[in-house]
Amino acid sequence: MEKVYEKAYEKVIDYIESNILDGHFEVGDKLPSERELSQMLSVSRNSVREGIRILEVIGVISSQHGIGNYIADHFDKTLVQVMTMMYALEKMTYNEIREFRYAVEFQAVVLAMDNITKDQIEKLQKNLDILENSQDEEEQVLNDKMIHYTIVEASGNRLVIANYLALAKIMDNFIRETRSKIMTDARNSIAFQGIHRRLVEAICSRDLELGKKALDEHFVYICKNLDT
């Protein structure tokens, strides 16, 4: 049964999405020209342009002026934009963002137990060493973030990684302010670094229960300092 489209550009979107799902289009493939798509789908070139523009906005297509349109995978950027706008328009609260990030990192810890590589373990240990010994706050912030990102990366799950990157982008300012508050108090600083040490040791030794406990401690500590 032939599909009924409300607007002609929907036919263009459906054609491209169907070909991606069927495996006929892959990342990096060049699409037929606007003229070819127009003739092939019996729609105007304006409809072709509108369909391509929509797919470009959501990260499916990359348009290169004078060269053509290509299948892309810019979904991380799109996720950041969507979540940022939801937060800015008060369609999503900071607590919801924080809870979602906890869920994403929790799943990352679970998956990393089986998937982490030797190189990633070495990266974690190096970042922890710098975090504990550096006197430079910017360097501490960077290595704190790298510990969390490496654990997420070690999950091997692209959806976990994409969602984490989008959430981290929104939370950066909050985390930076919280870290500054924590690091100005020597006792807080030592306690916070201890939590990161337990998290890294849990991942490196593949101790799931210890990893869950350390992640819980981390988020409780963050919440406590954000709320005071």
pLDDT tens profile 190-199: 888 899 999 9
Residue 185: pLDDT above 70?
no
Q: Which residue has the higher pLDDT, 170 or 159?
A: 159
Which range among 78-87, 157-166, 205-214 has the greatest average pLDDT?
Answer: 205-214
Q: Mean pLDDT, to the nearest integer, of 63-84?
A: 78
Residue 171 pLDDT exceeds 80: no
Cα separation values, 99 from 105, 128, 216, 217, 220, Å: 10, 25, 12, 14, 11
Report the alpha-carbon distance of residue 119 to residue 122 in Å, rounded.
Answer: 5
Please state the pTM of the whole predicted model: 0.69
What per-residue confidence (pLDDT) applies to 105? 95
pLDDT at 104: 94
